[in-house]
Structures are given as C-alpha cells and as structure tokens.
C-alpha cells in the first residue's frame, strides 16, 4: 500500500480534482507502475465534459507510460525496472476476438469495467471507498496498478513522453493508416483534423510512402505542424461551408481524387465531408469518435454505384504487444518523429488548464509529466 496523487473526476461532466489516494499492491496478473508521462487526449475531454458517460469516481488518463516497479503473482519478474508504454485496451487473450488476433475488439478486457480483471480497483480514498481507473490504467496518477496485458516494454532510448504517445494517439493514427486501411505506397491521402490523432495519421501516411498527404484543419498553426510532419498539401477548412471544404480537398488531392480520407475529429459534419470527398473506389476511414448518439449521413446511390468504402478504425487495429515496439523502433530510426507532436509539458495540477486549451482546439499534444 502506498499514497499516490491522481486526477479524479467524481463522475463524467465534472472538473478534475487532484486527490491523494491509497494504492494497494498488485494482485495476481497485475503490475505496479511508477507513471512517468500521460498525454491529454481528446477522449479524456469527452469523459471530463460528459459527452461520454463513465462511472465515477474515476482516475483520468489513458495515454501513458511508466517504469515497472513490482509485479503480482504469475507475472514475469523480468519486467521489473523496464520502461513501458501502457495499452488502454488490455486484452483478455481468451475471447473469440483475441483468439483471432483482433485484440482491439476484445470482449473481455478489464478496460470495459475501468478496474482490474477481477472487477475491483486497487485505489481507495482515505475513507476506504473505491476509486476506478479509466480503461483500467488511469494514467493521470503518480503510480498505478494495471493489468499485465496492458504493459508493453519499450526498447532502450525511447523517452517517457514518446512511449506515452505510442499508448494512444500514435497507435490510433499511425495504425489507422498502416494497419486498418493498409495504405499502399503512392496513394493520395487526406487527413481531416490534425490534432494529436490526425497528425499521427499524417506520420503514418508518410511512413507508408503516400504520394500526396493533404492536411485539413480550421487552425492554420495545426496545418504548419502537419506540413512539418510530412503533409504535402494543406486545406484551411471553412467551418461554415462544408461544400467549399470538400471542393478544396478534392483539388488538393490530385487528379484522381483522394484514395483515402481519414476523419480524425469525430464530428458528423466532417465525417460527411470525408465521404463526400471520395472519388469512385475511394475509402473513408473514420478514426475520430463522436459524442454518443450522433449520426452521419451520405447519399447512398453514388456511394454504392462508385464502389466506395467506409472503414471504422478503433485504436488503429492495435495489437499492442506487437505494434507498440514496432512504432518505438520506427521512432528510434527517425521515421516516426513522435516528439514533434508535443507542444506543452505540464504538472498534474495544471490539467484543467490543459483541457481548456484542448477544448479550444489550440493544443497539439500536451503531456503531463509525473515527477520522479
């Protein structure tokens, strides 16, 4: 048992409060991690702002990395001392989807209950009442106990912030391109919304050898960053005129139009734009998660007549144990400049300010740094 600091929301829709909590020792199949870094992802904001309802009280954060300090019964002791990225969807490794290699669709993940595999949390308040952990990893905490299958050791030389980003934004965006869509070399690729996830789509498109990479955003500063990461063309979106944005996307995507359009916002209007921008045979890849209950629409006849496709990409089709080390190696080789996504490092105490900036569309990736 140890005292830790963590960003807690009482329930979805309420501000975070930095609390001191008690963390129990890891049980069987669990790992004690001293957290080093946690990204502030738009999905955290969806929970914080009540767009997605999660049980509470709950420790926020799902894009994190840390150092393994101890392991519970049955876990390989060689993990102790390793630097690790955390997967926010620890697979059960037993369900049908895990068995067929689609761990991002696991139906038995402890992440579903925001607790450990036995359904209980290792975190309690001073009065003994339990506190949950978002997606079973709750990375906005100084220490955590997480499921063994969430822990992916990193090769030497990968900084904490980079490991944290591999845990969500990078895997979600790069994986959407190279795994879900399997973009071939030379393809024309459009990315609508270049926040942390969309910029990772841009990096993934460059890694895949895309011919054109068109970045689309309302914020010119984001387009500059996208160009820095490999976008060859930029489109400043018109918030009031979707048809104008679609025309600009088509013009920028080259003669045949875009082969792939990635939507990395989660907004029905931009999802419609992604589909409307497709030429016959083109593919829209939906990466951004909307608020609950939202619908997007498109005209059915030309969609079918033109043999277009829509793919949903969850977590970039990540098999964390295989893909995280690959992304880390690509970083070390200079082919995924992940650190360039980071535009701010902050203390846990400044989290609400970081959410304000993210809500305003001003931030690329802000990283909470946990002091050693």
Q: Is the CA virtual torsion 166, 167, 169, 171 positive or negative?
A: positive
Q: Which of 37, 38, 41, 92 is catalytic?
A: 41
Measured between alpha carbons, how far is 62 from 130 in angstroms, rounded to an integer? Answer: 19
Confirm or reject binding of residue 219 to ligand APR (CB under 6 A).
yes
Q: Mapped to the 3 state alphabet, what secondary structure does 62-94 carry?
A: CCEEEEEEEECCCCCHHHCCCEEEECCCCCCCC
The nearer residue to ligand APR, 145 or 177, going by C-beta atoms, is 177
- Candidate ranges 28-36, 89-97, 212-220, 339-347; the one touching ligand APR (CB under 6 A): 212-220
**Member of 189, 358, 367, 368 binding ligand APR (CB under 6 A):** 358
> Which residue number, 258 or 316, has a Cβ lying nearer to Zn ion?
316
Q: Is the peptide bond preceding residue 57 cis, with omega within 30 degrees of 0?
A: yes
Q: In terms of CB distance, is 168 or 187 closer to Zn ion?
A: 168
Cβ closest to Zn ion, residue 41 vs residue 210 = 41
Give burial (CB, 10 Å; 0-12/13-18/19+) of 124. Answer: middle
Q: 307 burial class (0-12, 13-18, 19+ CB within 10 angstroms)?
A: exposed
- Maximal C-alpha separation, the chain: 65
DSSP state, residue 127 = T
Determine contact, residues 369/345, Cβ cutoff 8 Å: yes
CB 12 within 8 A of CB 98: no
Of 37, 38, 43, 171, the catalytic one is 43
233 is a catalytic site residue: no
Write out the binding residues for Zn ion, residues 6-65 only, by CB under 5 A: 41, 43, 63
If phi > 0 it is left, if psi is from -120 to 50 it is alpha, else beta; for residue 157 that is left
> Per rule CB under 6 A, is residue 370 in the interface with ligand APR?
no
Count the neighbouring beta carbons within 10 Å of the beta carbon of residue 255: 6
Cβ closer to ligand APR: 32 or 278?
A: 278
Residue nearest to Zn ion (CB): 41
- Asked whether position 229 contacts ligand APR by CB under 6 A, the answer is no
**Applying CB under 6 A, which of residues 289, 318, 328, 341 lies at the interface with ligand APR?**
289
Q: Judged by CB under 5 A, does residue 168 bind Zn ion? A: yes
Q: Choose the binding region for ligand APR from 15-23, 77-85, 206-214, 282-290 (rule: CB under 6 A).
A: 282-290
Could you list the residues that contact ligand APR (CB under 6 A)?
41-43, 46, 172, 192-198, 216-219, 222, 237, 239, 264-267, 270, 287-289, 358, 361
Q: Rule CB under 5 A: which residues touch Zn ion?
A: 41, 43, 63, 168
Catalytic residues: 41, 43, 46, 62, 168
């Amino acid at each position: 048992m140890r005292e830790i600091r963590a960003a807690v929301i009482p329930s979805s829709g309420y501000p975070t409060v930095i609390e001191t909590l008690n963390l129990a020792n890891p049980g069987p199949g669990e790992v004690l991690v001293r957290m080093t870094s946690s990204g502030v992802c738009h999905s955290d904001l969806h929970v914080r702002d009540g767009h997605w309802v999660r049980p509470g009280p709950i420790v926020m954060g799902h894009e994190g990395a840390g150092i393994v300090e101890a392991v519970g019964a049955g876990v390989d002791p060689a993990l102790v001392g390793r630097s690790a990225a955390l997967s926010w969807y620890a697979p059960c490794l037993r369900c049908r989807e895990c068995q067929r290699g689609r761990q991002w669709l696991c139906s038995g993940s402890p992440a579903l209950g925001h607790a450990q595999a036995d359904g209980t949390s290792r975190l309690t308040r001073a009065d003994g009442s339990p506190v949950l952990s978002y997606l079973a990893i709750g990375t906005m905490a100084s220490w955590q106990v997480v499921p063994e299958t969430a822990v992916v050791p990193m090769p030497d030389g990968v900084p904490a912030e980079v490991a944290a980003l591999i845990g969500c934004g990078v895997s979600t965006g790069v994986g959407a391109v190279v795994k879900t869509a399997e973009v071939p070399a030379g393809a024309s690729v459009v990315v609508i919304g270049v926040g942390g996830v969309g910029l990772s789509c841009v990096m993934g498109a460059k890694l895949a050898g895309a011919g054109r990479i068109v970045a689309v955003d309302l914020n010119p500063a984001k387009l500059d960053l996208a160009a820095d990461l490999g976008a060859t063309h930029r489109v400043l979106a018109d918030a009031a005129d979707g048809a104008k944005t679609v025309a600009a996307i088509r013009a920028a995507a080259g003669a045949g139009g875009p082969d792939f359009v990635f939507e990395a916002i989660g907004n029905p209007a931009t999802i419609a734009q992604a589909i409307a921008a497709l030429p016959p045979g083109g593919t829209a890849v939906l990466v951004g998660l909307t608020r609950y209950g939202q619908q997007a629409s498109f005209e059915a006849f030309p969609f079918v007549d033109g043999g277009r496709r829509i793919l949903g990409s969850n977590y970039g089709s990540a098999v964390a144990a295989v893909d995280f080390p690959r992304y880390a190696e690509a970083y070390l080789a200079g082919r995924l400049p992940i650190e360039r996504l980071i535009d701010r490092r902050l203390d846990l105490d400044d989290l609400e300010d970081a959410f304000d900036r993210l809500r305003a569309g001003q931030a690329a990736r802000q990283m909470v740094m946990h002091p050693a």
